[in-house]
């Protein structure tokens, strides 16, 4: 199963990263709890942010469902959207963008060559944007 391979790869990748915790949500690795801890120098410093990740039956041909469980303000997360629907604006996990590339930005949707680690890196990048970068873009 591809889910097992991706889960094992992610566990190995983040085993020494104290800002990322990956664990099964229940008894199965096809439903995960991802915790990202805000790092120093970011607006989310010391915060714990929980994301739910579920692999679909047709994985890796469709992206995993990812949902920001922790209520927060983030320009790419809509905390008012209830569980079961997407509340993270990220091309990588948008089921409508599978196999597509935005010609103007180069952003690409999900493809079977992408992995759980790609999703974790994208979410981690969203949470670890440095304050200096945020202030200069405002």
Look at residue 129 in the predicted model and tell me its pLDDT.
84
Domain of residue 79 covers 2-137
pLDDT band at 19 (very low <50, low <70, confident <90, very high): very high
| pLDDT tens-place string over residues 33-69 | 999 999 998 989 999 999 999 999 999 999 999 999 9
pLDDT band at 23 (very low <50, low <70, confident <90, very high): very high
Contacts of 18 (CB under 8 A, 6+ apart): 37
Task: Classify the phi-psi angles of 16: left when phi > 0, otherwise alpha if psi is within -120 to 50, otherwise beta.
Answer: alpha
Based on the structure, what is the number of domains in the chain?
1
pLDDT band at 130 (very low <50, low <70, confident <90, very high): confident
Phi, psi of 18, rounded to the nearest 5 degrees:
-70, -5
Look at residue 47 in the predicted model and tell me its pLDDT.
95
Identify any residues that bridge with 51 across adjacent strands, giving them in sequence order.
34, 68
Q: Locate 68 and state its tokens.
A: 């920001």
Query: Among 6, 127, 126, 128, which Cα is nearest to 64's?
Result: 6
Look at residue 132 in the predicted model and tell me its pLDDT.
55
Identify any residues that bridge with 23 across adjacent strands, giving them in sequence order.
33
Return the CATH number at 7. 3.10.110.10
Q: Which residues are catalytic?
A: 89
Q: What is the torsional sign of CA 123, 129, 134, 136?
A: negative
Look at residue 103 in the predicted model and tell me its pLDDT.
83
68: how many CB neighbours lie within 10 A of its CB?
A: 24
- CA–CA separation, 118 vs 131, rounded Å? 23
Please give the average per-residue pLDDT across 65-78, as a whole number. Answer: 93
Look at residue 106 in the predicted model and tell me its pLDDT.
80
pTM here is 0.89
- CA–CA separation, 48 vs 36, rounded Å? 6
| pLDDT tens-place string over residues 77-116 | 998 999 989 999 999 999 989 999 888 878 889 999 999 9
């Amino acid at each position: 199963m591809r889910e097992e391979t991706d889960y094992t790869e992610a566990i190995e990748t983040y085993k020494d990263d104290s800002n990322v915790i990956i664990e099964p949500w229940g008894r199965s690795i096809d439903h995960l709890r991802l915790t990202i801890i805000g790092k120093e120098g970011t607006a989310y410093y010391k915060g714990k942010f929980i994301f739910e990740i579920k692999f679909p039956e047709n994985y890796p041909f469709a992206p995993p469902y990812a949902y920001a469980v922790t209520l927060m303000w983030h320009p790419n997360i809509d905390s008012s959207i209830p569980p079961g629907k997407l509340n993270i604006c990220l091309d990588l996990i948008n089921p409508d963008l599978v196999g597509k590339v935005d010609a103007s930005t180069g952003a690409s949707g999900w493809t079977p060559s992408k992995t759980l680690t790609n999703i974790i890196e994208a979410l981690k990048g969203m949470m670890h944007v440095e304050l200096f970068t945020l202030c200069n873009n405002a």
